[in-house]
Amino acid sequence: MNTPIADIRVKSWNELQDRLFEDAWNPDILRYRSRYAFRGLSDCHYRLETTLMRLGGDYSNLERHLLRNFRKYAHRDVVEGGSVWQLISVAQHHGLPTRLLDWTYSPFFAMHFATANIDKFNEDAVIWAVNYVGAHQYLPQRLRRYLENEGANVFTAELLSDAIDTLGVLPDLAPGAYAIFFEPPSLDDRIVNQYALFSLMSRVDLVMDDWLCQHPRIFRRIVIPGALKWEIRDKLDQAGITERVLFPGLDGLSCWLKRHYSPRG
C-alpha cells in the first residue's frame, strides 16, 4: 500500500459491533441501513488482491484466455447467451481466477470469514468496510447515470451489461481509476445466504487498497486481535453464523463440524 492506513483496533466483542455498524443510520429514510460492504480476512497483512493477481506472471493478459476457455468448456446452460458479467460471476463463484473480489452486506458474515481459519488464530484478522455509495461517486459520469436512472446504489449484472459489454473498455471510460460494486445473479443458495456482492477495479492490475488509500473517507479497516478470535468465533457459532449456513450442503456441514470440534490450542 502506498499510504499507511490508520487501523481501528478493537478490544472487545461489543466494540467490534459498534465499529461495524457505525454510520448505519440513514436520515433520508429514518432507518438503520448501512451503505457499507464488508470483507473479512483471517490475517490483517493480507491485501485486497484478486485471485487473478495471485496467479502471478503476466496475469493481466491471461484474463481473456481464462474467460474464453471457461465459456467454451462450461456447460452451455451456465453461460450460453449471458453477458460478460454473468460469465465472470459464474466463473468467480466456481473458483476461476478473476478480477473480482467477494464482499458481503453482512458484518456478521465478514466476521465469520475473518475467524473461520483456526490455523490463523495467532494472527490478527481484519475486516474491510467500504462505503459503496461513496465509492460510486468516483464512477465515470456514464456509469453514475445508469445508477441514478435506476435509483440504485449498486449495480446488478443485468444493469452493468446494459452499460458495458466488454471488460476492455473499463479503463477508457475515465482518466482515473475507479471501483464498481455489483450484485451477482442468485446462482445458488450460497450466494443468497452470504448476502454477497462483488467489486472490481477499472484497471485489472490495480490492487484495491492502493486506490482506497487515495480516498480514506470511504472506508475503514477494523483489526481483530488474535487473542479475541476465540470469543468471536464461539459467539458467531452460537448465533448460527457458520459454514453450515453459508455453504449449504455436505461440504459446508463437514467444514463446520471439523472446526467446531477442533480443540483449542
pLDDT digits (tens, 9 = 90+) for 57-74: 999 999 999 999 998 888
Quick one: average pLDDT of 38-43?
98
**Average pLDDT of the chain?**
92
| Beta strand pairing call for 196-201 and 25-26 | unpaired
Q: Which of 66-75, 121-130, 173-182 has the lowest mean pLDDT?
A: 66-75
If we measure between CA atoms, which residue out of 204, 208, 247, 216 comes closest to residue 48?
Answer: 208
| Cell numbers placing 52 | 487473478
pLDDT over 70 (residue 166): yes
Q: pLDDT tens-digit profile of 183-228?
A: 988 777 777 778 899 999 999 999 999 999 999 999 999 999 999 9
Amino acid 153 reads: N
Residue with cell 465478514: 110
Quick one: average pLDDT of 136-164?
94
The C-alpha atoms of residue 128 and residue 118 are separated, in whole angstroms, by: 20
Quick one: average pLDDT of 250-260?
92
* Extended strands (E) in 120-226: 125-131, 155-156, 179-183, 196-201, 219-224
The C-alpha atoms of residue 94 and residue 66 are separated, in whole angstroms, by: 13
Sign of the four-CA dihedral 219, 51, 194, 261: negative
CA–centroid distance for 238 within its chain: 24
Residue 255 neighbours by CB distance under 10 Å: 16
pLDDT the model gives residue 72: 87
pLDDT the model gives residue 82: 74
| Beta strand pairing call for 125-131 and 219-224 | antiparallel
What percentage of residues in the chain have a pLDDT greater than 90? 79
If we measure between CA atoms, which residue out of 3, 42, 8 comes closest to residue 123?
Answer: 42
Amino acid 47 reads: R
pLDDT the model gives residue 244: 93
pLDDT the model gives residue 79: 60
pLDDT the model gives residue 4: 55
Q: Which of 5-9, 23-27, 175-179, 183-187 has the lowest mean pLDDT?
A: 183-187
Are the C-beta atoms of 164 and 202 separated by less than 8 Å? no
More confident residue, 185 or 43: 43
Amino acid 136 reads: H
The C-alpha atoms of residue 260 and residue 41 are separated, in whole angstroms, by: 19
Are the C-beta atoms of 19 and 8 separated by less than 8 Å? yes
Amino acid 45 reads: H
Question: How big is the CA angle at 218 (ends 216 and 220), to the nearest 5 degrees?
Answer: 70
The C-alpha atoms of residue 153 and residue 235 are separated, in whole angstroms, by: 32
Q: List Cβ neighbours of 172 (8 Å cut-off, separation of 6 or more).
A: none
